[in-house]
Structure 1
Amino acid sequence: MLDPLIILIALAGGLLSRALGLPALLGYLAAGFLLHETNIDAGPMLHNLANIGVTLLLFTIGLKLAPAELLKTRVWGTTLLHMALMQALFTAVLWIAGVAMPGLALEISEMLIIAFALTFSSTVFVIQVMQEKGEMSSRHANLAIGILVIQDLAAVLFLSATKGTVPHIEALFLLLLWPLRVPVTRLMERAGHGELFTMFGLCLALGGAALFELVGIKGDLGALIIGALLAGTQKSKELYRNLMNFKDLFLVGFFLTIGLDGWPAEEALILALVLGVLALIKPLLYFPLMTWFHTAPRTALLSSSVLGNYSEFGLVVVAVAAQASWIDSEWASAISLAIATSFVLSSPINKRAHTLYRRYHDFWLRFESEKVSESRPDTSGVRIMVLGMGNIGTGAYDAIAEHHGREVLGVDLNERKREEHARKHRRVVIADASDPDFWIPVQLDEVELVLLALTHHQENMLVASLLTDLGYTGRIAAVVRFSEEARDLEKRGFSAFNLYAQAGAGFADHAAAQLQAEPR
């Protein structure tokens, strides 16, 4: 059984890709194509890992999903218009290819199906890249994921249609899942925080997918819906963190299987490479559509850059259509190569997106709508800023505000907590600290201290570097969880508070205070 060897080679490919400054998933793809040349075939274990990975991916997306976000015009309007325009473009490209290379001539129905498969962007790629950059909580990540969810729903509807099946009458019982939300959440709380809790999450994801399959609905959609039903609770956030590593491990199998599918025929190979390059048109169209729907230029640019690729769902659409004898099965390998090419080209563009925005800032602002919803918050009279108002940031804010009052400002992206902060008289604004436009009205020469308590180390580093570039000369302190993160910050002249290493000292201070207190 060669699957363990395949995974080991994938690990080497991922490490090499990371060393070159590229996402690890490109190394997995390259390993798959390399293994194909050695005539090594994936066994059932690898395919099972790939399937579980996609299911867990959609479940974790559901855990972070905000249904209200999907109902915004800038999300569904951008998605539907973009898909329609891309459908027309790729249909025309396939027709031209058929005229230039008669061996690739297709019927109009075949062209429409393949073009439809190319309209999606990759959920797997976007999530992986956003996680590596520490931007999963950002506005542009929320917008990109909202667009991807609508695309995935369109793909699921197509897959249901191609199977020629409709949901069973028993599917109506799935409506009972909503009232089960409260008891399931209570069970999650009883499961604690360890391996039992993680196992509970895996059972919800895989069991939910199996339940939907039983009633004639795509299992991956079921995993997404089950996750969305649990979204918004504290335990859902913890479950999301617990399952991320499992999801990443299983998705290695998915990227390997793309490469292991092999190379298409010569003419199809040329077309696949051309289609891979044409994926770069996607962000060029996404950006004006997003700004037209009143998205801030920076959010539009960063969202667009990460969506410039093709989707794993495109492979699924082509494979299912081939099973239904609607297209030739050889198109699967061509689409695989187009997806891989789009990943390679999309990575460096996405990596430089922040730099592109800062360098050509005035150009991007020309596209700003008058009704853009992201207004500039009030930052007057601020001397201390706390970036990230989670548990740690909020605790730091409360301690400092006792002495400095309104001179302390909290900054966070979580709009749902705005009212809670207001009730407790905290001065908190809803903004993206990594956005250069947020810092324009801030009097940086009056700010003495910036506390970084953002979700990820990469995000803390991004904001710290931005402040340095903007000429900030005050003090910067950041929360870290690992010693290498502390070294990374201190090397750049920033102060680091190691949450785990220094928590013991804080606990000792608390215990000493208890000893000095009067006995009860």
Structure 2
Amino acid sequence: MFEVITISFAFLFGLLVRPFGLPPLVGFLAAGFAINIFGPPLGLPVYSGEALEHIAHLGVLMLLFTVGLKLKLKQIAQPQVIGGALLHFAISVLVFMPGLKLFMGLDWNTALLVAIALSFSSTVLAAKLLEAKRELGVFHGRTAIGILIVQDIIALVVLAVWSGQTPNVWALLVFAVPLLRPVLHRLLDLAGHDELLVLMGMLLSLVIGGMGFEAMGLSSEIGALVIGVLLSTHKRAKELGESLWSLKEVFLVGFFLQIGLTGLPDWGALAFAVAVGIVLPLKGVLFFALLAAFKLRARSAFLSALSLTAYSEFGLIVAAGVLPEFLVPLAIAVSISFVISAPLNRFAHPLFERFEERLQRYERDTIHPDEQPKDMGDAEVLIFGMGRTGSAAYQRAEEQGLRPVGLDADQYKTEAHVAAGRNVLFADAEDSNFWRSCDFRKIRAAILAMDDLEARLIAARGLRQRGFTGPIVSHALFESDQQELRAAGADYTYLTMTQAGVSLAEQTADVLGQG
């Protein structure tokens, strides 16, 4: 009966927040609190916790595994990632701790632990928001996720120190985990494309990563992430992540419901949550200042900082382990931060464009690691997005004697194309600075091959606003997409699935004609 109630409330509240431009996860949080508040008067079953906690845990493990599939190890070993994470952690603790002691009368140890819990940013929220915008692979998305990984490692150290739990002797096996890479890659080659691929994803994230690391006395969350990273270089890593998408989303509903079902707050807990909600913007401001200091351009620093402006579910994990009396107040604070952060991230790009002039004052006058290209060379065909579709278009353009140049917001994908001998540059079509600085005078045609519709619309509008008069060709998944793309300036749009069917029919006719 309880599962009927949770599913019904989750769907209803998820549907209710959609007209306000909020992601469904905010509705799921509200659903948890609603069940907690209205359940007893309505005679609903009492929340037992165990089943939903288990589902929530599986959802977090699968999310971190899919995040790992999109990561590269060198992404973490960046000055802005390690330096930004450690400095933000240290400054946050030093600011929060005296305030908590002064205004709440906490002892120094408790104030320190609460300050540590508040210093973290939400891995689940950031990963979901970046994934929804298809920005996990772009520079600011990778920077944010890298910082979150460092924070998660700090959280695990805190748990180990204060809870008295230490890794067992089997933890030494963690150094042999990289040796599993060839075996895991071979298994992925053999898994096929059907339900066996889904089961393999669950095996790797929940069993090998989750239970395997727990058996060594280590974090199951980090285990799922590490196994994902080991597979990130495989050519089918993206397919594996996509196969787990629906399952992961359903399990994560349990995670957000669980926060609301943790317990009802008293007035003290509400006051605490509102107070830390008021100072939440300072978390984002500090991240922006630190990332700008590490030579990031204002846009990358702003978008990364905004992704990190939310309190963390890892803070709840720390509280559950070493500070149970603060679990409910922190859960309310996390919920409030989600409600604030989610809509802000939805409008992240328009917000930056509005405040761009002010924010650019804080850029350092130096070479930036996320610098945008200014010269397209002698290229005559511009291809936005160098995934499978863009790569195929690039190859075909070369075969036809044209000179293509590819643009992609994923630095690692760009480097791989360059290593393969292709003319591909790192650039983000959603970056207004790119449109101001780039020279398109030699470009005769443009192809929009990005996955995200919004990115294609921005690229089409940007080209037309810069005075580009050549043909713009784009793919589309739906007829409604075609209409929007044409209104934005695209001349030719092709329905991807329809065009695939046409090509199959033409190939069949050719084969029959040969017979």
Q: TM-score, normalised by structure 2?
A: 0.92
Residue segments in structure 1 that go unaligned for 5+ positions in a row: 99-104, 323-328
Partner of 2:335: 340
Aligned partners of 2:87 and 2:395: how far apart in 1? 46
Partner of 2:406: 410
Aligned partners of 1:469 and 1:281: how far apart in 2? 36
SS across alignment from 2:446: strand
SS across alignment from 1:477: strand
Aligned partners of 1:485 and 1:46: how far apart in 2? 38
Aligned partners of 1:384 and 1:364: how far apart in 2? 33
Partner of 1:56: 62
1:346-361 equivalent positions in 2, closer than 5 A = 346-361=341-356
SS across alignment from 2:222: helix
Partner of 2:188: 188
Give 2:100's match in structure 1, choosing from 88, 94, 107: 94
SS across alignment from 2:236: helix
1:219-238 equivalent positions in 2, closer than 5 A = 219-238=220-239
Instruction: Indicate the larger mover: 385-394 or 423-432.
Output: 423-432
Give 1:480's match in structure 2, choosing from 476, 483, 486: 476
Give 1:68's match in structure 2, choosing from 74, 96, 101: 74
Matching residue's letter, 2:252:
L
Change (3 A) 1:350 1:424: closer
Residue segments in structure 2 that go unaligned for 5+ positions in a row: none
**Offset of residue 268 of structure 1:** 2.6
Partner of 1:255: 256
SS across alignment from 2:473: strand
SS across alignment from 1:166: coil
Aligned partners of 1:96 and 1:463: how far apart in 2? 52
Equivalent pairs counted in the alignment come to 505
Matched, 1:366 2:371: no
Matched, 1:441 2:437: yes
Aligned partners of 1:335 and 1:508: how far apart in 2? 59
Aligned partners of 1:423 and 1:91: how far apart in 2? 49
**Offset of residue 95 of structure 1:** 2.3
**Offset of residue 303 of structure 1:** 0.6
1:264-275 equivalent positions in 2, closer than 5 A = 264-275=265-276
Judge conservation of contact 1:185–1:235 (CA < 8 Å) in 2.
Answer: no
SS across alignment from 1:280: helix
Matched, 1:163 2:163: yes
Give 2:47's match in structure 1, choosing from 37, 42, 47: 42
Judge conservation of contact 1:277–1:341 (CA < 8 Å) in 2.
Answer: no
Aligned partners of 1:305 and 1:471: how far apart in 2? 32
Matching residue's letter, 1:16:
L
Aligned partners of 2:317 and 2:212: how far apart in 1? 21
State the Cα deviation string for residues 319-359 of structure 1 (Å, max 9, x = none): 1113xxxxxx3321111111111111222322332123223
**Offset of residue 157 of structure 1:** 1.7
SS across alignment from 1:158: helix
SS across alignment from 2:193: coil
Partner of 2:127: 127
**Offset of residue 395 of structure 1:** 1.2
Change (3 A) 1:4 1:360: same
Change (3 A) 1:512 1:20: same
Matching residue's letter, 2:362:
F
Identical-residue share of aligned pairs (%): 35
State the Cα deviation string for residues 400-422 of structure 1 (Å, max 9, x = none): 2344533x321113444546544
Partner of 2:428: 432
Aligned partners of 2:247 and 2:457: how far apart in 1? 26
**Offset of residue 271 of structure 1:** 1.8
**Offset of residue 144 of structure 1:** 0.4
Judge conservation of contact 1:42–1:257 (CA < 8 Å) in 2.
Answer: no
Instruction: Indicate the larger mover: 464-473 or 291-300.
Output: 464-473
Instruction: Indicate the larger mover: 232-241 or 446-455.
Output: 446-455
State the Cα deviation string for residues 211-261 of structure 1 (Å, max 9, x = none): 111121121121111112222111222111111222211111111111122
Judge conservation of contact 1:87–1:116 (CA < 8 Å) in 2.
Answer: yes
State the Cα deviation string for residues 84-115 of structure 1 (Å, max 9, x = none): 111112113312322xxxxxx21110000001
**Offset of residue 468 of structure 1:** 5.2
Judge conservation of contact 1:264–1:330 (CA < 8 Å) in 2.
Answer: no
The Cα RMSD (Å) is 2.3
Matched, 1:397 2:402: no
Aligned partners of 2:244 and 2:38: how far apart in 1? 34
Judge conservation of contact 1:130–1:141 (CA < 8 Å) in 2.
Answer: yes
Partner of 2:322: 321
Partner of 1:326: none
Judge conservation of contact 2:456–2:485 (CA < 8 Å) in 1.
Answer: no
SS across alignment from 2:342: helix
Matched, 1:144 2:150: no
Change (3 A) 1:115 1:10: same
Q: TM-score, normalised by structure 1?
A: 0.91
SS across alignment from 1:379: coil
